[in-house]
Amino acid sequence: MANLKQRPLFRVSQTEAHPITLTSAEGCRMEIFALAHDIIRVLVLPHGELRGPRTWAIAPGEEDVPTEGRERRDMSGFEPGPARVLSDAHKVMIETPMIRLTVTLDGGFCAWDIRRGEIWHRVMNDRKTQAYNFGWWDERVYHYIERKPGELYVGLGERAGSLDRANQSYEMRNVDAMGYSARTTDPLYKHIPFYVTWQPETSTGFGLFYDTLADCRFDMGRELDNYHGQYRHFVAEHGDLDYYFIASPDTPLHAVRRFTWLTGRPAWMPKWGLGYSGSTMSYTDAPDAQKRMGEFIERCREHDILCDSFHLSSGYTSIGGKRYVFNWNRDKFPDIDGFVADYMREGVRLVPNVKPCLLHDHPAFAAVSQARLLIETRGGEPAWVQFWDEVGAYLDFTNPATIDWWKARVKDSLLRHGIAATWNDNNEFEIWSPDAIARGFGTPFPAREAKVLHTQLMMRASRDAQREHAPRARPFLVSRSGGVGMQRYVQTWSGDNITSWETLRFNLKMGLGLAMSGVSNSGHDIGGFAGPAPGPELLARWVAFGIFLPRFSIHSWNDDGTVNEPWMYPEITGVIAGLIKLRYRLIPYLYELLWQSHRDYEPVSRPMFAEFPDDPRCLADGDDMMLGAALLVAPVVELGQSGREVYLPMGARWADYWSGEVFDGARTVSLPAPPERPVMLIREGHVIALNIAEQHFARPADERAFVALPCAGVGVAKGACVEDDGESEAWRDGAQGRWRVVIESDERQLRIAVERHGQMPRVQDDVRISVPASDTRGVAAATGELIGDHTADGWRHLTLRLAR
């Protein structure tokens, strides 16, 4: 009888409209939504009613959700296609063109098939010996799934350790993980309960997204129990089991694109966010902070270090040794307007740190508490928390009055001085007491049950303040913590890492996991934030890796008081300056990749197996990555290495960016890798945009060129590059242009077409296209006129003059 009690007997009570509904005599309920040909949602309600709050995650194809959240059963944004529903006394089957879900009525067990061609492949089964908690175990939410041999699991945001999550267990409980190990520490900063399962034997996969704000845990096969066979599971502390199954045949990237679409369009941020961003806590902690900040600009000029922004650490808010958000320390910064103007005059934007917690002795604490803008106890007192080295209380961003207060402070304390960005930090909202209550937009709930919601609403409030202050400018925001949908608002980074070679290696994997979880605009603290100062070799290698990531910031708080700066070691300052110039050379390609992320939900960086799922050698957890579909990046992550062995995936040839040498795929090559020349290879059939203008500090220049590896025989190589003013919202009204390069080839000739579409921000009639010098085929210009053809440094440089 006990076993039977674990298995409610369902009957089909609705099939004619969404949702398809199953109910049981005990009051259990399952709702199934066929949302698209490749997405089906399952909502399990043990007591027949929703227990969790609204959703702030679901925004299909949209830039945002209502501030107060979206109703759980809201179908707006979805266009369900044809779905067959068949049922008998034992089961119900829901079939779309890509997914077939079969639910056994005795127990509600789900079995999932994906169509590839004309063949259905069984990809997932609920665990037959208990899959769901129908209210008889405890109040938590469970989902148990059978494991298949050889499956890979990728995602769950920025997890430590291997890229493949198999056989590991992870907590999502946002914490301030200062000095974490990128190999072992868990939990970390972000809450993204989504991952992709890939089954190499059938080249089939799927994504699973659990829409919850609760602390939760994923066990990917670390736990074993003889009574149940091989399984993995998800457990959430509160709420409902509300999960989305996303079919992903042929490539794991499809699930990532569709999950990103499902949870909201990535923000199109200003181009300057791709430049080098200086940052260190030591400058703003110094008693003469404004002077120290001026010295940073002087050093950039002295060493010709290109720089677009500076992250202003929280020392600017200090009173004594503590931080007080929105307070300016006038002793450190006696002339705020002049300070900001000096930076802006050099083309360097300021990104000031803001924190969501008010210490108990904050100058505004009494007024904020009296206005009831804080998270409070049931008795109406501030819900005290430990925050840095003091006690304080978090602001309650589920209270509209708090949002208004925050926006007003952002505008008055920061934006009116000419600052155009915010750095949302220490926003993990570590609230553990069951007595702490959030207002919940009129429906109060324990704050600990949705901590990450406050994180999301904080960054949204900062974004909205920036939009209201400068409606024609694209907002730029950074946030350390976040959750599902954070890509709609911010750029992010992997938090306060510790300086080591191991961190360098595993931060690479963390970034890939985050990109495979819908968040591409990210990076790391280059050189390491905490711990010892990096040695010259480690710093150079870290910079040589960091220049390929959307966020490129050197940031530190070293134990010995030293500062990670481009010029901290004179013997490598020239190398670092050159690497930063290489970064600026690549910005057009990175900008295009971020545009593809915004427009098409493409991840900017990808694991090798995700781009080449049919190459068995790419399944290994290595130290390489794809930057977009066109560029293979192989950083050096070990001490004392002067070269890199790189496996080149099958199915394409590859050209060394530095030498122009071309290699066949499906082989391993050994390449020189001095710090100033990081290993990067261009994939056959692709064209990459570059900025070849000579760059110097505070003298921005832009001249477009392209580098390509044409197909060896008959084929087409393609590439594109978005162009706009880089800062304004005018692109929404069509003020945007696009380069498009197509190289058609056969055994004897390359036929090159370079086209310009839309509104280009600058006039450029001559454009250079570089192909490997070993390609000696004839050249024909399909557009414009070929006016140059010369060879240098292993590349053949072809110049076309375009008609206006």
- Here the tokens at position 640 are 């004392």
pLDDT mean over 210-233: 97
Sign of CA dihedral 126, 132, 137, 140: positive
Are the C-beta atoms of 500 and 535 separated by less than 8 Å? no
Q: For the chain, what is the mean pLDDT?
A: 96
Give the mean pLDDT of 31-60: 96
Segment 246-273 mean pLDDT: 98
In tens, the pLDDT along 142-152 reads 999 999 999 99
Q: Measure the CA–CA gap between 581 and 696, rounded to whole angstroms.
A: 9
Q: Which DSSP string do the residues of 367-422 spell out, in sequence order?
A: HHHHTT-B-EETTSSB-EEEETTEEEEEB-TTSHHHHHHHHHHHHHHTGGGT--EE
Calpha distance 657→661 (Å, rounded): 8
pTM over 0.85: yes
Reported as half-sphere exposure (CB side, CA atoms, 13 A), residue 398 has a value of 25
Cβ–Cβ under 8 Å, residues 97 and 83: no
Q: Which segments of 212-254 are extended strands (E)?
A: 216-219, 231-236, 241-249
What homologous superfamily does CATH list for 630-801?
Golgi alpha-mannosidase II (2.60.40.1180)
What are the E-state strand segments in 628-728?
A: 631-634, 643-648, 654-656, 662-663, 667-672, 679-683, 686-691, 704-709, 715-723
pLDDT band at 5 (very low <50, low <70, confident <90, very high): low
Mean pLDDT across the stretch 447-457?
Answer: 97
Give me 687's structure tokens.
């064209």
> Can you give the C-alpha Rg of the chain in angstroms?
27
Question: What's the mean pLDDT in 230-254?
Answer: 97
- Residue of 791, 785, 715 whose CA lies nearest to 750: 715
Residues 6 or more apart from 506 whose CB is under 8 A from it? 160, 161, 181, 182, 183
Give the H/E segment covering residue 753: strand 749-758
Distance CA(477)–CA(460), nearest Å, equals 9
Helix (H) or strand (E) holding 349: strand 349-354
Domain boundaries, the chain: 630-801
What are 751-779's pLDDT values in tens digits?
Answer: 999 999 999 999 999 999 999 999 999 99
Give dist(CA 761, CA 765) in Å, integer.
13
Residue with tokens 């972000």: 190
pLDDT of residue 700: 78
Q: Specify which residues 12 forms β-bridges with.
A: 22
pLDDT of residue 247: 98
Q: How confident is the model at residue 136 (pLDDT cuts 50, 70, 90)?
A: confident
The pLDDT of residue 2 is above 70: no
Using the structure block, give the residue that is written with the tokens 């794809």. 626
pLDDT recorded at residue 3: 43
Residue 18 pLDDT:
82
The yes-or-no verdict on residue 117 having pLDDT over 50 is yes
Which pLDDT score, from 0 to 100, does residue 6 have?
65
pLDDT, tens digit, 9 for 90 and up, residues 469-523 = 999 999 999 999 999 999 999 999 999 999 999 999 999 999 999 999 999 999 9
For the chain, percent of residues with pLDDT exceeding 90: 95
Q: Is the pLDDT of residue 155 over 50?
A: yes
Give the amino acid at 796.
Answer: R
How far is residue 581 CA from its own chain's centroid? Answer: 24
